[in-house]
Structure 1
């Protein structure tokens, strides 16, 4: 980890993006994120998802956030057909 702006994450899928559930080994959620967490770090990067269908379910997470002094990145979702968010503990 170092100081400076976080990198951006762009996901382009012609059909679908699915973020589902959590690890059976340690319970950590499946997730896509752009974040800045260190107290010395800069702004978080941006997260962009372009697809026809987006599914986020069963505790999975999609986020752009910060817990540092920097600014949060942006979260932009373009899903031309559908966005399905289902299950428990939903984070967007």
Structure 2
């Protein structure tokens, strides 16, 4: 999966509900995704072969301590974020 494919998946899950979508693709194929809607922020990091870590509205003190949850697929991670944000298609 590349950044463009990830953006398409994000759009299919959220529609136009997000104000911020940042997708960074790393040379090994890992993706780092930041999403924002209203006062909510989420980060999703991972790779299709190894799974995805996600954090919704992390506290300032959490820093780089890892993600709260994991998901097997990017779509699953996005659906969890959408539910936490209570927005989207």
Structure with the bigger percentage of helix: 2
| TM-score, length-scaled by structure 2 | 0.22
Q: Relative to total residues, which structure has the larger strand share, 1 or 2?
A: 1
**Max Rg structure:** 1
Structure with higher RCO (Cα < 8 A, 6+ apart): 1
TM-score between both structures, scaled by the size of structure 1: 0.22
